[in-house]
Each structure stands twice: as structure tokens, then as C-alpha cells.
């Protein structure tokens, strides 16, 4: 691919000569990586980024003159394709959060291991090069508010499972972070209306929630969205679930569906976490969805119910590519393969997520989606791959105004 044929240009910004040298030495034998500049403080970093247009900037936080956070903010504005990685000591968590808000894409603790450093540079370098290509091909037009092309509407991805505990929320939050990018705005809507826990997974709290948004659906605009949604350090915006189960009664199907459709004008991807039941509410969201990611553990009872759900999708005359199967918690030990699942369900496995209970549980307890923390872990790479596949799926332009889906009266509503 031509995006990778050139070397990844890297700028290192750190006030300690020793750190700069260590990093340069770690990278010197990598044929695809080129350290094109080293700065001693934020100001030099900004200047170097302006001149060298790096793909990746390795940025320290505490530096004299201009710190890493201010420098990150400036570079993100000046060179939007540059991906900034904070390289910092562990104690800097608060600063780290600020750096993420300023637009940093990742962080490594100091001193980084060679593997970690090189893998992070390769991954972000590739993303940067893809963005460089995209910028040449599709110039960003002012007035586009969802980060997608001027006319394209964002995509609605509903995470559903016939069985609770399958990993809907795990998928929703991690997929959202994996999809989020410089040129892609992503929000998560916690529409598990009674017992939503997206806020826990993101360690976010807020007073406004889906209840407010649904009630004010006639007033959707950028400022309303900013007031309803909580901002996560990854850049993902989060519409938190209702604060108590009884509030969920205030959320009704028609306005909720309208809200999701409206959000497509403001986000490239609208990721929706829903409950494991099928009521008017869930079906209305599925009607609006571009994809329903059907999350299932690799166990026979769940897969049998997934089969029933796919049958329902057919009766509802959903397009064939709307419901896609994502098998979560995959492990050789279970003795079930994606091939055997495909054979028994007569439905392709769209994505599979590796089982790792340590990674999954630690992420929830820390309130940091694992794709941000341990990107090399099995479940992280699975979800990053899934995000890439979805993006590729949506890359060709959808014909505007898809035919409305007919509903047969299966559920009285
Ligand atoms: N890939 C995985 N490997 C191991 N455990 C997982 C994985 N995905 C999810 N889990 C665990 O399964 C449980 C349920 O996940 P959750 O996302 O809350 O499911 P749901 O939203 O469908 O109810 C959580 O304890 C989570 O840590
Ligand atoms: Mg959940």
C-alpha cells in the first residue's frame, strides 16, 4: 500500500537529552521509521512539527518554556495528520488526561520498551499516512459537522445481544474509542434504558442523560449536543443512560429513533448500547441502525437465540448486511470455532473478540476502555480490527436515502 511505502516520520520532544537519545537509539534500526527531528521543549516541538510534518510525535509532558499539553494542542491544530503520543512518567495521570483532551492519541510510560514504542509508532504512523492520503483525495469542506464527507450521514451501530453479559457494553465503548479519530467523530448512546452502565466503563458521570436528549429532541444542534453529552478523554462523546431505572419510562421509541437519526448529522459513528430485550424501543433503534452488531458468547444457548434473532431480522425485512455477528470471548479452550458457528447458524461471523478476563475486568474496574490501555491485548487487537473492517465497509459511498424498511406487525406497537 502506498501509504506505508514511505518511512514513518517521527519527532521526539523531551527536555532530557538522555531520553531523546535513548528513544533515537531504540528506533535507529527500524527501516520503516525515521526520526526527523528532536526538540528540547514544547516550543521547539511545535516548530519542528510545522517544518517536518511528522506522522508521529513522541511528547514529554513536563518541560520548560512550553509544556507537552500546550504543544500537543498547537500541533494538533497545525498538523492534523500528526499523531501525538505522550511519553511520560506514571504519576502524571492528571496531566495525561489533559493531554488526551488536547488531542494526544496514545501514551507510553517512561521509559518505554522497544516493542511498545515501535508498535505504537507503526500503528499511529499508518493511521497518519492514511489521513494524509485522505486529505489529498477528499479535501475537508467547511460546514461538515460530523467529520465525514460533506454529504455523508454518520452510521448508526447498535450493539445488541439476546443474552445479557455477552459483552455489548464492552464492545460499544471499545469500538467507539477504536473508531474515533482526527477526522471521525464518535458518540456512544447508552440506550440500555433501565440499567445502563456505559458511564462506569468510561468512568464518566454527568447530570444530563438520554432522558434529557429524548425530551429535547426537537432542539438537536451542536450546542445542545455539547450540553447533553459527557466528553471522554479519548475524544468520544457519551450520552449517559438514565440515572434511575424508573426514569427509563420517559424514553419512548419514536423520539429516541429520531434522536439517533439526528445524531448522524453530527457524528461519523453513533454507537448505541441497548438492553438484551426486544421491545418497541429496541426495535425502533434497530430500524434506524446501519448495522446491528449482534454480540454472542461462544455458547450453544446464546447462539441458538442469535439464530432466532436473525430469523426475526428476515421477517422484519432488514437488509442482509444489517445484522452482523460478533462472537465475543473466543478461546481455543472452548472447543468451538467460528467455522462451526457459521455452519450451524448459516450466517457469517463478522468479527470475533478474544477472551481475556483479566484485561476485560481490569478495564471496567479502572474505567478505561482496554483499547486505550493495553492495545496489544487480545480483545484490544480484535476490536481494533473490527473497527477497521467496519470503516472499510462504509468507505464506498452509500446511496443517499436508503429505502425505508417495511415492518410486519410482529410486535404490537
Ligand atoms: N472478551 C472478553 N473476555 C473476557 N471477558 C469479557 C470479554 N468481554 C466482556 N467480558 C466480561 O463479560 C462481562 C459482561 O460484559 P458486558 O460488556 O457488561 O456485557 P453486556 O453489556 O452484554 O451485559 C464483564 O464482566 C466483562 O468484563
Ligand atoms: Mg451492558
We report the CATH number of the domain holding residue 185 as: 3.40.50.300
The CA distance from 289 to 172, in Å, is: 14
As residues whose CB is below 5 A from the ion ligand 2, the structure lists 168-169
Q: How far is the CA of 197 from the centre of ligand 2 (A)?
A: 6
pLDDT band for 65, please (50, 70, 90 cuts).
confident
The CA distance from 61 to 41, in Å, is: 9
Q: Give a yes or no: residue 30 inside a domain.
A: yes
Atom in ligand 1 nearest the alpha carbon of residue 355: 3
For the cut 90, the answer to whether the pLDDT of residue 142 exceeds it is no
Mutate which of 167, 176, 201, 373 for ligand 1? The one with the most ligand atoms within 8 Å of its CB, which is 167
Tell whether 175 and 124 lie within a shared domain: no
SS3 sequence of 6-74 = CCEEEEEECCCHHHHHHHHHHHCCCCCEEEEEEECCHHHHHHHHHHHCCCEEEECCCCCCCCHHHHHHH
Looking at ligand 1, which residue's alpha carbon is closest to its atom 15?
A: 167
CATH number at 36 reads 3.40.50.2300
Average pLDDT, stretch 141-153? 54
The CA distance from 298 to 341, in Å, is: 8
Of 102, 137, 172, which residue sits at a domain end? 137
**More confident: 257 or 107:** 257
Q: Give a yes or no: residue 390 inside a domain.
A: yes
**More confident: 124 or 130:** 124
Q: What is the grid cell recorded at 401? A: 436515502
Give tens-digit pLDDT for 94-113: 777 788 888 888 888 888 89
Ligand 1 pocket, residue 379 CB under 6 Å? yes
**More confident: 28 or 145:** 28
Q: Give a yes or no: residue 404 inside a domain.
A: no
- Prediction pTM value: 0.66
Instruction: Assess whether the previous peptide bond of 405 is cis (omega < 30° from 0).
Output: no
Q: For residue 349, give its domain range.
A: 155-394
Tell whether 340 and 214 lie within a shared domain: yes
Ligand 1 pocket, residue 96 CB under 6 Å? no
- Given this model, what pLDDT does residue 379 score? 97
Tell whether 215 and 271 lie within a shared domain: yes
Q: Give a yes or no: residue 399 inside a domain.
A: no
Tell whether 171 and 119 lie within a shared domain: no
Mean predicted lDDT score pLDDT of the chain: 88
Average pLDDT, stretch 332-359? 94
The CA distance from 223 to 203, in Å, is: 23
Tell whether 110 and 161 lie within a shared domain: no
Tell whether 343 and 306 lie within a shared domain: yes
- Given this model, what pLDDT does residue 141 score? 36
Ligand 1 pocket, residue 328 CB under 6 Å? yes
379 to 10, 33, 174: CA distances (angstroms) = 28, 27, 9
- Given this model, what pLDDT does residue 148 score? 52
Atom in ligand 1 nearest the alpha carbon of residue 354: 1
Give tens-digit pLDDT for 213-232: 999 999 999 999 999 999 99
- Given this model, what pLDDT does residue 97 score? 78
- Given this model, what pLDDT does residue 91 score? 65
Average pLDDT, stretch 128-135? 76
Q: How far is the CA of 300 from the centre of ligand 2 (A)?
A: 20
Tell whether 286 and 227 lie within a shared domain: yes
Considering its fold, how many domains does the chain have in total?
A: 2
Tell whether 230 and 321 lie within a shared domain: yes
For the cut 70, the answer to whether the pLDDT of residue 143 exceeds it is no
Q: For the beta carbon of residue 208, count every other beta carbon within 10 angstroms.
A: 16
Atom in ligand 1 nearest the alpha carbon of residue 364: 27
For the cut 70, the answer to whether the pLDDT of residue 271 exceeds it is yes
Average pLDDT, stretch 116-135? 85
- Given this model, what pLDDT does residue 165 score? 96
Of 110, 137, 164, which residue sits at a domain end? 137
**More confident: 267 or 373:** 267
Tell whether 189 and 98 lie within a shared domain: no
Average pLDDT, stretch 39-47? 95
- Given this model, what pLDDT does residue 404 score? 42
Average pLDDT, stretch 57-81? 92
Ligand 1 pocket, residue 360 CB under 6 Å? yes
Give tens-digit pLDDT for 177-186: 999 998 899 9
The residue behind cell 467496519 is 390
Q: For the beta carbon of residue 331, count every other beta carbon within 10 angstroms.
A: 13
Amino acid at each position: 500500500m502506498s501509504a506505508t511505502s514511505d518511512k514513518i516520520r517521527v519527532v521526539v520532544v523531551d527536555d532530557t537529552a538522555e531520553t531523546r537519545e535513548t528513544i533515537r537509539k531504540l528506533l535507529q534500526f527500524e527501516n520503516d521509521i525515521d526520526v526527523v527531528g528532536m526538540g528540547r521543549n514544547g516550543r521547539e516541538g511545535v516548530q519542528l512539527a510545522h517544518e517536518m510534518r511528522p506522522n508521529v510525535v513522541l511528547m514529554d509532558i513536563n518541560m520548560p518554556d512550553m509544556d507537552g499539553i500546550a504543544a500537543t494542542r498547537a500541533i494538533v491544530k497545525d498538523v492534523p495528520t500528526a499523531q501525538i503520543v505522550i511519553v511520560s512518567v506514571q504519576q502524571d495521570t492528571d496531566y495525561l488526561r489533559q493531554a488526551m483532551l488536547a488531542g494526544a492519541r496514545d501514551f507510553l510510560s517512561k521509559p518505554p520498551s522497544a516493542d511498545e514504542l515501535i508498535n505504537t509508532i507503526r500503528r499511529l504512523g499508518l493511521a497518519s499516512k492514511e489521513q494524509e492520503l485522505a486529505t489529498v483525495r477528499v479535501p475537508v469542506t467547511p460546514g461538515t459537522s460530523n467529520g465525514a464527507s460533506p454529504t455523508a450521514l454518520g452510521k448508526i451501530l447498535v450493539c445488541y445481544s439476546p443474552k445479557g453479559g455477552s459483552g455489548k457494553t464492552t464492545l460499544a465503548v471499545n469500538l467507539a474509542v477504536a473508531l474515533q479519530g482526527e477526522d471521525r467523530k464518535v458518540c456512544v448512546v447508552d440506550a440500555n434504558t433501565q440499567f445502563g452502565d456505559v458511564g462506569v466503563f468510561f468512568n464518566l458521570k454527568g447530570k444530563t442523560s438520554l432522558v434529557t436528549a429524548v425530551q429535547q429532541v426537537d432542539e438537536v444542534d451542536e450546542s445542545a449536543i455539547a450540553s447533553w453529552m459527557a466528553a471522554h478523554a479519548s475524544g468520544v462523546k457519551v450520552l449517559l443512560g438514565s440515572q434511575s431505572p424508573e426514569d427509563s419510562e420517559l424514553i419512548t421509541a419514536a423520539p429516541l429513533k429520531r434522536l439517533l437519526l439526528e445524531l448522524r448529522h453530527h457524528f461519523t459513528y453513533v454507537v448505541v448500547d441497548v438492553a438484551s430485550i426486544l421491545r418497541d424501543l429496541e426495535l425502533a433503534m434497530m430500524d434506524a441502525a446501519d448495522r446491528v452488531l449482534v454480540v454472542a458468547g461462544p455458547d450453544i444457548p446464546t447462539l441458538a437465540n442469535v439464530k432466532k434473532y436473525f430469523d426475526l431480522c428476515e421477517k422484519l425485512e432488514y437488509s442482509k448486511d444489517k445484522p452482523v455477528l460478533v462472537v465475543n470471548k473466543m478461546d481455543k479452550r472452548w472447543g468451538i470455532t467460528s467455522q462451526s458457528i457459521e455452519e450451524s447458524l448459516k450466517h457469517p461471523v463478522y468479527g470475533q473478540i478474544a477472551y481475556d478476563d483479566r484485561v476485560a475486568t481490569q478495564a471496567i474496574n479502572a474505567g478505561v476502555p482496554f483499547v486505550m490501555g493495553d492495545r496489544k491485548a487480545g480483545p484490544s487487537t480484535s476490536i481494533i480490527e473490527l473497527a477497521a473492517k467496519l470503516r472499510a465497509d462504509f468507505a464506498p459511498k452509500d446511496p443517499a436515502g436508503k429505502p425505508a424498511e417495511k415492518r410486519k406487525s410482529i410486535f404490537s406497537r
